[in-house]
Amino acid sequence: MRGERAMGGPVTDQVLVIANPTAGTAKAELVAAIRDACAAHAETSLHVTTARGDATETARRAVAARTPPGLVVVVGGDGTVREVVEGMIDTTSSTLLVLPGGTGNSVYRMLWGDRPWQEAVRAVFGGQAARRRLDLARLAETGAVVCLGACSGVVAEALEFARRTPITGRGRYTKAFADACAAHKPYPGRVSVDGKVLYEGDTVLANVGGGRYRGGQYLLLPMSELTDGLLDVCVISGQVDPLRVPDLIRTGAHLGEPGVYYGRGSRVEVERTDGANLVFEHDGELHADTAGSMTLRVAPGALPVWADAAVAAGPDW
Ligand SMILES: Nc1ncnc2c1ncn2[C@@H]1O[C@H](COP(=O)(O)OP(=O)(O)OP(=O)(O)O)[C@@H](O)[C@H]1O
């Protein structure tokens, strides 16, 4: 299929919509509207998840079926997208369309920018969308698939604050991140890219991806290419006052700051050097008590996705 453009002809005659009803904004009306929009173009079935992990199993079964759906649509946030991606990794039979039903929706923004979901659906079925093979990563410590990215330090700590705020939508992460930055104490760490030390010392955060945005609004990896077969990493060291971090990363201005380090490679290791567990998250899921390090290895081009050609640069396939 590589090299073939998706313009013209029907995208698929079979669609599977997987929706997480507990994700931030995946209300029943939204899920029904998305199902109906797909059903106008192809036979469409809907699976509403009933538990954590259900989306992975559903996607895995679907792409392994004798007649897999050509299009899998996920309605949820970044955690639900990650689950579906885990079930679809390395598939060639189905292409994923991510639609926003969560809180941060960073994966949707990475693929479609600020376009409303209706436009994304129209573009896919109208032959104006681009099919990309998205780079993913594997977390060596657990074997989990990473889609959006992973981050240690204050971004991970913000997830605890997010649980405690009643605010919904992206404003939830704005508040949680500001609170986490105010409470943050840099940790002693080291970040290595392909075996070479990029930075060692007091660390506010080390973000590896993947997606340019985290929390739907923070441009942590402004230079990340989604299909270049490499991971980007950005380290904000303790030289930067944590209170300045939200404003700096909202626009990507952190890259010019002293005490900020940026690298690119196939394998990125983020460690804590004092023997304590590393607080980190990937795809919005917190890991606080599992390991002293997070190690990401790139899985180049491991997932076919639909995207806006202007937003997600790269070769069609
Ligand atoms: N039916 C379900 N019941 C409970 N949890 C579920 C169910 N289906 C999926 N989940 C879990 O819900 C978690 C949260 O969903 P998700 O991350 O998509 O939403 P969000 O946190 O609102 O959005 P974002 O990650 O974009 O901020 C996922 O990690 C997933 O494992």
Amino acid at residue number 122 = R
Cis amide prior to 210 (ω within 30 degrees): yes
56 lines ligand 1 (CB under 6 A): no
Quickly state the pLDDT bin for 313 (edges 50, 70, 90). confident
Q: Please tell me the pTM assigned to this model.
A: 0.92
- Alpha carbon distance 154, 245 (integer Å): 10
Residue 195, both tokens: 């075996």
Q: What is the pLDDT of residue 6?
A: 43
Q: How much is the average pLDDT of 13-17? A: 96
Q: Which residues pair with 268 in a beta bridge?
A: 193, 296
Nearest alpha carbon, ligand 1 atom 9: 52
- The alpha carbon of 174 and the centre of ligand 1 are apart by a number of angstroms equal to 19
51 lines ligand 1 (CB under 6 A): yes
Q: What is the 3-state secondary structure (H, E, C) of 184-231?
A: CCCEEEEEEECCEEEEEEEEEEEEEECCCEECCCEECCCCCCCCCCCE
> Shortest CA distance to 71 belongs to which of 257, 304, 279?
304
Amino acid at residue number 25 = T
Ligand 1 atom closest to the Cα of residue 100 is: 26
- The alpha carbon of 238 and the centre of ligand 1 are apart by a number of angstroms equal to 32
95 lines ligand 1 (CB under 6 A): no
- Alpha carbon distance 109, 266 (integer Å): 24
- Alpha carbon distance 270, 116 (integer Å): 36
Q: What is the pLDDT of residue 278?
A: 96
The full set of domains in the chain, from first to last, is 14-128 (3.40.50.10330), 145-300 (2.60.200.40)
Q: What is the pLDDT of residue 268?
A: 98
Q: What is the pLDDT of residue 317?
A: 60
Instruction: Express as a percent the part of the chain with pLDDT over 90.
Output: 84
Q: How much is the average pLDDT of 193-201? A: 98
Tens-place pLDDT, residues 88-105: 998 999 999 999 999 989
- The alpha carbon of 51 and the centre of ligand 1 are apart by a number of angstroms equal to 9
CA dihedral 23, 25, 30, 31 (to 10 degrees): 0
| Three-state secondary structure call for residue 149 | coil
Which conformational region is residue 5 in: left (phi greater than 0), alpha (psi within -120 to 50 degrees), or beta? beta
Averaged pLDDT of the chain: 93
> Shortest CA distance to 172 belongs to which of 160, 154, 190, 184?
160
> Shortest CA distance to 168 belongs to which of 212, 228, 216, 131?
216
- The alpha carbon of 81 and the centre of ligand 1 are apart by a number of angstroms equal to 9
| Three-state secondary structure call for residue 128 | coil
- The alpha carbon of 157 and the centre of ligand 1 are apart by a number of angstroms equal to 18
- The alpha carbon of 285 and the centre of ligand 1 are apart by a number of angstroms equal to 9
Question: Tell me, what's the ipTM?
Answer: 0.97
Q: Which residue has the higher pLDDT, 103 or 260?
A: 260
211 lines ligand 1 (CB under 6 A): no
Amino acid at residue number 274 = D
Out of 114-118, 164-168, 280-284, which region has the weakest mean confidence (pLDDT)? 164-168
Ligand 1 atom closest to the Cα of residue 80 is: 18
Quickly state the pLDDT bin for 179 (edges 50, 70, 90). very high
- Alpha carbon distance 84, 126 (integer Å): 24
Q: Is-contact 136 301, C-beta < 8 A?
A: no
- The alpha carbon of 73 and the centre of ligand 1 are apart by a number of angstroms equal to 15
Quickly state the pLDDT bin for 10 (edges 50, 70, 90). low
Q: Is-contact 145 89, C-beta < 8 A?
A: yes
Q: What is the pLDDT of residue 290?
A: 78
22 lines ligand 1 (CB under 6 A): yes
User: Which DSSP string corresponds to 226-286?
Assistant: TTSS-EEEEEEETTS-GGGHHHHHHHTGGGGSTTEEEEEESEEEEEESSSSPPPEEETTEE
Quickly state the pLDDT bin for 174 (edges 50, 70, 90). very high
Q: What is the pLDDT of residue 2?
A: 30
Structure letter (DSSP) for residue 7: -
Tens-place pLDDT, residues 25-80: 899 999 999 999 999 999 999 999 999 999 999 999 999 999 999 999 999 999 99
Q: Is-contact 250 217, C-beta < 8 A?
A: yes
> Shortest CA distance to 105 belongs to which of 28, 17, 211, 252?
211
